[in-house]
Amino acid sequence: MIVDDALFGMARTGKLDESITYPQILSTVSGGDIKISPEELFISEGNRFDRRTLSGKGTLAPGKENRYPESEDLVVITDGALLIQRPRKLLKAIYGIRNQVSFSKLIYMQGVADPYLFPVLVYAGISLFDDSTLRMVSLRGIRYGELGYERSDENNFQANFAFARRIMANLSLAIKDGTLREVVEKYQISTKAAEILRLMDSEGYEAEEASFPRRTPYIKANSLESLRRPDLVRYRDFIRTVYRRPDSKKIALLLPCSARKPYSISKSHRKIIEKIMPYRKYVHEIIVTSPVGIVPRELEETYPAMFYDIPVIGDWYEDEKHMISNLLRGYFQNNRYDAVYTFVGDDLDFIHDDLPEGHIKIGWDKHTEESLDRLNETISAYVQQSGHGEHDSKTNRLENYIKIAEYQFGNWISDYISGCKIVKNYNSEMLVKDGKPFLIYNPLLGKFTINKNSGQIFAKENRFVVEIDDFKPTANIYPVGILDATEDIRQEDEVVACHSGQVRAVGIAKMPFLAMKSLRKGIAVKVRN
């Protein structure tokens, strides 16, 4: 039986038959995890395969469906040694298995035991490997280490096997901590690993995004691979195609990012804000940054904008420029302004070709006050000339909250909260509707939490809904009690647990909807009330 402790995208960690932890490299020695008889192969006591079934299966052939042997809890990719040389076909096989069994079975891959491939393969959804090829490699005098392999005259199997198991233990921790993507990007010793990751991020994006968490503890963008993280691509897709500017903000001002987050508390942004303060209610501040893209000021406290870190060298790579250019073109096609200004350094000169015709460049020199004064004068002159009307500061704050809620849940929610009042609640604020708390803003996480009052509209719209059996949830909801889940649910989403249209609980998703619908064990929803 599979018992998951945690998931991260398609990767998972837990126990199989209460004896084998995963992800894991299995031992084939006498008394090990894999037991072989003349007719059958056993993985622990609960998973039995007929060896005749294993023979010759799984070979890829053009136009033919791949079929792999299964047990109650496992699917075995028998031609791993062949597929690892052809990463596109390997991913096709993995996604094909996932389409058939979803998360109901673990995937065991034979013929691959390279520790430098384990991170990306576990990330792709492989849970079990065996030591057969590791033994052969060790006989050839290869020893694996943290920075790469080395050669010797000895059989290094014991050291290599111990190293492989340490890698697996670290991957298990990364899955639990929500940092697996950082580990995979960091551990690019194998060129095959880099190739597989790039294919997953490009050709396999839809399958990857459907399971990738809505948010992680942080984003360490130390390589260009971070540009293609599913959570960042998901955010940029929203900004480019769905996001609409606040109605009161008719002047766009593009600004550079800052190392400190949120940007508005940084020294450079505080100076800018001070200079435009009299006119700020008319100005839509848009931060240009990598790897996130562009960040409207009202989203600066949300994920991913407040949770990333990147090495800054004052130069932009071509991949980053291409990403920003595409994003700006899409954004300004959907969002029209009365005026567009840029207040950026020379390193961002490349963005001007992608801005609307007639935009005005106000060069910024962060070492002098002259450019800040010029910014003040330019915005002031335009506001006075154009005769922009007054706006209530509370209206602007509600607009900002509506934009955060739209980003978190979708544009459909704006009709329900446009008439809400903002009420201070200890260290946070909440949106109140008909005299009742509706959505509570969590400033530390940059998101709203749902309660049972607002849960009713999610049930009505069938958004972020987990349909459960007829019971009253208390602390956790397990998959065995779940009848269905809407396809918009990703791990770490706010969700509403309902039974026949009645809200029974609200909480945080600990699995994507695919896992909720196919697993029997593990925590699917952590209930809040």
Same domain, 265 and 339: yes
pLDDT at 65 (0 to 100): 57
Q: Are 330 and 244 in contact (CB under 8 A)?
A: no
Residues 424 and 431: their CA atoms lie apart, in Å, by 9
Q: Are 262 and 285 in contact (CB under 8 A)?
A: no
Distance set, CA 338 to CA 111, 359, 433 (Å): 62, 10, 33
Does residue 222 belong to any structural domain of this protein? Answer: no
Does residue 114 belong to any structural domain of this protein? Answer: yes
Residues 74-122: tens digit of each pLDDT = 999 989 999 999 999 999 999 999 999 999 999 999 999 999 999 999 9
Does residue 219 belong to any structural domain of this protein? Answer: no
Burial classification of residue 251, based on how many CB atoms lie within 10 Å of its CB (0-12 exposed, 13-18 middle, 19 or more buried)? buried
Same domain, 304 and 172: no
Query: Domain of 453: which CATH number?
Result: 2.30.130.10
Residues 239 and 334: their CA atoms lie apart, in Å, by 10
Same domain, 409 and 464: yes
Does residue 480 belong to any structural domain of this protein? Answer: yes
Helix, strand or coil, per DSSP, at residue 430? strand
Does residue 342 belong to any structural domain of this protein? Answer: yes
List, as one string, the DSSP characters of 451-488.
Answer: -HHHHHHHHHHT-SEEEE-SS---SEE-GGGEEEE-TT
pLDDT at 63 (0 to 100): 45
pLDDT at 55 (0 to 100): 52
For residue 522, give its domain range. Answer: 394-527
Same domain, 99 and 184: yes
Nearby residues of 127 by Cβ (< 8 Å), 6 or more positions away: 12, 22, 23, 24, 106, 107, 108
pLDDT at 59 (0 to 100): 40
Distance set, CA 321 to CA 169, 238, 285, 317 (Å): 38, 19, 20, 6
**Residue 477 forms beta bridges with which residues?**
525
Same domain, 411 and 519: yes
pLDDT at 68 (0 to 100): 87
Same domain, 188 and 284: no
Q: Which residues of the chain have a pLDDT value below 50?
A: 56-64
Last residue in a domain, options 346, 363, 386: 386
Last residue in a domain, options 323, 357, 386: 386
The alpha carbon torsion through 411, 243, 212, 506 (nearest 10 deg) reads: -30
Residues 367 and 136: their CA atoms lie apart, in Å, by 61
pLDDT at 66 (0 to 100): 59
Same domain, 8 and 150: yes
Last residue in a domain, options 325, 358, 386: 386
Same domain, 251 and 303: yes
- Return the structure tokens found at 477: 């909801």
Same domain, 122 and 246: no
Asked if the bond preceding 213 is cis, omega within 30° of 0, the reply is: no
pLDDT at 39 (0 to 100): 75
Does residue 218 belong to any structural domain of this protein? Answer: no
Does residue 221 belong to any structural domain of this protein? Answer: no
Same domain, 295 and 430: no
pLDDT at 200 (0 to 100): 97
Same domain, 405 and 346: no
Does residue 486 belong to any structural domain of this protein? Answer: yes
Number of domains present in the structure of the chain = 3
Same domain, 125 and 206: yes
Distance set, CA 160 to CA 137, 191, 267 (Å): 9, 20, 50
Query: Domain of 254: which CATH number?
Result: 3.40.50.10630
DSSP 170: H
